[in-house]
Amino acid sequence: MPAPRTLLLTGAAGGVGTLMRELLPPYGYELRLLDVVPVPGAPDAIVADLADRAALREAVRGVDAIVHLAGISLESTFDKIMAANIAGTYNLYEAAREEGVRRVVLASSNHAVGFTRRPREGEPLVPVDTPHRPDTFYGLSKCFGEDLAQLYWDLHGLETVSVRIGSCFPEPTSVRMLSMWLSPADCARLLHATLTAEDVAHTIVYGSSANTRAWWDLSTARALGFAPEDDSEVYAEKLVADKGHPPEGSADDLYLGGHFCVNPPRWPH
């Protein structure tokens, strides 16, 4: 497929969306922005809810690909997760199908497999085909998104790369994040790879930097052309000194999803 140029970026007002609005255009993308709240500094952004099918259909019309970040990004009630992340993602895929968009890059999450044990030294890294083990309704909605993506490939030939993002923030802020961190620059590199790789069908990748303490296997991301350049290890000494290692046997010590498995942060609204 020819390299996509015009992208719909949903969730453009959020943390990752704000970072990507700066970091994707240098790769040559023209961004159309969408969020349920106004996007600061972007008066042309589409303000629409993922529940609004007519608005989504108009928003996807004519774009080469969609980077779907919008939704509830923490734990919430099942009803709210259902509306924003499950029905909302379905609505977006239907709009994409109806308008003939070829590819979606879907923000999945480590929390789709959050109850997976993290590997100990010498054990194999977690592969992408490890079974779904969501740690929250939030993680469950990401499992749904990945399965929806598979269905739309098998049924309609709509391609998706599902990116199980670790922790995409300017810097890691916990010892767990030393394993999960996806630097903003590597996130843009990864999105570019997922948007330009040929014939992705539905591919699942993990999204993190080349962290010394990584728990999961980046090979499917690398196979798409992703070459991460950052490593959280530069933050390790200070973070370990400030916060200490998670207690042995705690959720942060045992599981990929860490504290989400026992005490997940909740969506504020």
Best CA proximity match to 11, nearest among 82, 68, 89 = 68
The span from the CA of 91 to the CA of 36, in Å, is 14
Of the ranges 68-76, 198-206, 232-240, 252-260, which one interacts with ligand NAI (CB under 6 A)? 68-76
Q: Which is nearer to ligand 15L, 25 or 170 (CB)?
A: 170
Q: Which is nearer to ligand 15L, 109 or 232 (CB)?
A: 109
Q: Identify residues 7-66 at the interface with ligand 15L (CB under 6 A).
A: none
CB distance 246 to 252 below 8 Å: yes
Please report, for residues 74, 107, 135, the alpha-carbon distance to residue 80 in angstroms, rounded to integers and kept in the order given.
11, 18, 17
Q: How many CA atoms lie within 13 A of 186 on its CB side?
A: 28
Closest separation between CB of residue 242 and ligand NAI, Å? 20
Choosing from 1, 42, 49, 57, the residue that interacts with ligand NAI (CB under 6 A) is 49
Q: Which is nearer to ligand NAI, 4 or 257 (CB)?
A: 257
Of the ranges 3-11, 38-46, 57-65, 106-114, which one interacts with ligand 15L (CB under 6 A)? 106-114
Helices (H), the chain: 15-23, 53-60, 78-81, 88-99, 137-156, 177-180, 184-196, 219-223, 236-243, 251-254
- The catalytic residue among 138, 152, 206, 255 is 138
Q: Decide: is 35 part of the binding site for ligand NAI (CB under 6 A).
A: yes
Q: Decide: is 188 part of the binding site for ligand NAI (CB under 6 A).
A: no
Strand-pair category, 30-35 with 159-165: unpaired
The span from the CA of 30 to the CA of 162, in Å, is 21
138 is catalytic: yes
CB distance 172 to 181 below 8 Å: yes
Active site residues: 138
User: Which positions lie near ligand 15L, rule CB under 6 A?
Assistant: 73-74, 109-111, 167, 180
User: Which positions lie near ligand NAI, rule CB under 6 A?
Assistant: 11, 13-17, 35-37, 49-50, 69-73, 84, 88, 107, 109, 165, 167-168
